[in-house]
């Protein structure tokens, strides 16, 4: 996807060097339609430059900072030296992500999707998430709920979510805790089973959460939670343990949550 407008002053842009002159370098902007910028020789590198070709090559992909935009003169002034290694790496990754998302748009809506529909969906994702990739990533993690504030139709939402969940690699974190469950009643085994079902959420866990409860050694059970971020994982872990404790205590048993494994084989 290429933007039809102009970049903003101070923005970082990706481009390909298509012409080198003694006075500077012309760059074809990869993210903007029919836009070309100029890096003056003084903005190519710090210090005195004897030969500009010692610093850049034709066909090279570069990340530049926009110094000035003159729409009347159709001129964009760029700087190469004002971009540090960290900024360059982050911008290249962002650009690659948007290219992936552009391909996902075709997967979601077909290669022959008309321009109006593409623009409508793209603009909704840009407005809500700042980019296509962010929209697909959130759709993969949170499903249709992530797109609830957009003006996309139910069919468009479904197409995006289905495509996102098939193609987006979502970063996940895993946290683990333990809960001890004991019941002295005659129906103690059933009491603990019900407490474990409560810990697992009784089938009411969000799609983006993977929660598993496993037996370690009486009276200890492991709760393992995988979630898109640490806070969500921690919250789900504590809520799972709390449900188990509440369920076992409601029938006269005891429950306690701890972070470290405490069975004899680990001691």
Q: What is the CATH number of the domain that holds 54?
A: 2.40.50.140
* Domain range for 46: 12-83
**4 domain residue, yes or no:** no
Q: Quickly tell me which residue has 């903005």 as its tokens.
A: 43
Residues 79 and 121 grouped into a single domain:
no
Residues 32 and 78 grouped into a single domain:
yes
**5 domain residue, yes or no:** no
pLDDT, residue 109, reads: 94
**222 domain residue, yes or no:** yes
CATH code of the domain containing 226: 3.30.70.1130
Name the domain boundary from 39, 67, 83: 83
User: Per the structure, how many domains does the chain have?
Assistant: 3
Q: What are phi and psi of 216, to 5 degrees?
A: -105, -55
User: Is residue 242 classed as helix, strand or coil in its secondary structure?
Assistant: helix
**42 domain residue, yes or no:** yes
**2 domain residue, yes or no:** no
Tell me whether strands 75-79 and 36-40 are parallel, antiparallel or unpaired: parallel
Nearest to 181 by CA among 160, 200, 195: 195
Residues 180 and 162 grouped into a single domain:
no
Triad 32, 99, 156: Cα angle to 5°: 100
pLDDT, residue 263, reads: 57
Residues 77 and 91 grouped into a single domain:
no
Residues 187 and 235 grouped into a single domain:
yes
Class of residue 65 by CB neighbours under 10 A (exposed 0-12, middle 13-18, buried 19+): buried
Name the domain boundary from 167, 182, 210: 167
- Whole-angstrom CA distances from 122 to 33, 110, 135, 150, 199 are 15, 14, 9, 11, 40
Residues 54 and 71 grouped into a single domain:
yes
Q: How far apart are CA 158 and CA 164, in angstroms?
A: 10
Q: What are phi and psi of 163, to 5 degrees?
A: -65, -40
pTM, rounded to two decimals:
0.65
Residues 241 and 212 grouped into a single domain:
yes
Q: Does a cis peptide bond (omega within 30 degrees of 0) precede residue 143? A: no
**6 domain residue, yes or no:** no
Q: How far apart are CA 152 and CA 78, in angstroms?
A: 36
pLDDT, residue 4, reads: 82
Residues 190 and 253 grouped into a single domain:
yes
pLDDT in tens, the chain (267 residues): 678 889 999 999 999 999 999 999 999 999 999 999 999 999 999 989 999 999 999 999 999 999 999 999 999 999 999 999 999 999 999 999 999 999 999 999 998 888 899 999 999 999 999 999 999 999 988 889 899 999 999 999 999 999 998 998 877 888 999 999 998 888 888 999 999 999 998 777 887 889 999 999 889 999 999 988 888 889 999 999 999 999 999 989 999 999 887 655 443
Q: How far apart are CA 240 and CA 181, in angstroms?
A: 13
Q: How far apart are CA 71 and CA 65, in angstroms?
A: 17
Name the domain boundary from 61, 83, 105: 83
Residues 258 and 209 grouped into a single domain:
yes
CATH code of the domain containing 133: 1.10.150.190
Q: How far apart are the first and last CA of the chain?
A: 57
**237 domain residue, yes or no:** yes
**132 domain residue, yes or no:** yes
Residues 124 and 62 grouped into a single domain:
no
């Amino acid at each position: 996807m290429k933007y039809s407008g102009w970049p903003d002053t101070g923005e970082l842009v990706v481009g390909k060097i298509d012409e080198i002159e003694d006075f500077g370098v012309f760059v074809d902007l990869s993210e903007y339609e029919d836009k070309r910028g100029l890096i003056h020789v003084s903005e190519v590198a710090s210090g005195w430059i004897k030969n500009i070709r010692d610093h850049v090559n034709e066909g090279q992909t570069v990340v530049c900072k926009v110094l000035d935009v003159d729409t009347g003169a159709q001129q964009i002034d760029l700087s190469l030296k004002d971009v540090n290694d960290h900024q360059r790496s982050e911008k290249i990754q962002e650009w690659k992500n948007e290219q992936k998302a552009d391909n996902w748009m075709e997967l979601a809506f077909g290669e022959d999707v008309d321009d109006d529909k593409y623009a409508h969906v793209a603009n909704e994702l840009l407005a809500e998430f700042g980019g296509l990739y962010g929209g697909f990533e959130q759709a993969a993690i949170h499903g249709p709920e992530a797109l609830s504030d957009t003006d996309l139709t139910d069919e468009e939402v479904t197409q995006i979510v289905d495509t996102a969940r098939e193609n987006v690699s979502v970063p996940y974190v895993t946290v683990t805790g333990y809960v001890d469950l004991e019941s002295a009643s005659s129906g103690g085994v059933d009491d603990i089973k019900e407490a474990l079902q409560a810990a697992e959420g009784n089938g009411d866990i969000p799609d983006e959460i993977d929660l598993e409860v496993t037996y370690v050694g009486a009276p200890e059970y492991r709760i393992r939670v995988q979630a898109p971020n640490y806070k969500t994982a921690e919250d789900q872990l504590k809520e799972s343990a709390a449900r188990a404790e509440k369920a076992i205590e409601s029938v006269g048993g005891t429950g306690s949550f701890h972070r470290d494994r405490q069975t004899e084989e680990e001691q």
